[in-house]
Amino acid sequence: GGVEWADGRRMAADVVVWATGFRSALDHLAPLRLREPGGGIKVDGTRVVKDPRLQLVGYGPSASTIGANRAGRAAARNVHTLLTAPLTPAA
């Protein structure tokens, strides 16, 4: 996995943090087909149910400035767990 920049360059990455500010900017995720029939993306805390590699902090139940620190810590724990888990073969 990794990142492809606008100029076509590619860079390997274990984690990408996409900080969009106060509005959901999720159109770039459309190719992943994460949206449910009603249009939303189902999350468990901050983790996207259809692709647990993705954390949506400030989306769905974590969309609160009051709980932002808690949601950020939860996402960081999830990423740490993902990065330190044993590798499994792709299905």
What is the pLDDT at residue 58? Answer: 79
The ranges assigned to domains in the chain are 2-78
How many CB atoms within 10 Å of residue 11?
9
Average of per-residue pLDDT across 76-90: 83
pLDDT tens-place string over residues 15-62: 777 767 666 778 888 999 999 999 889 988 888 899 888 888 877 767
Q: How much of the chain is helix, strand and coil, in % rounded to 5?
A: 30, 15, 55
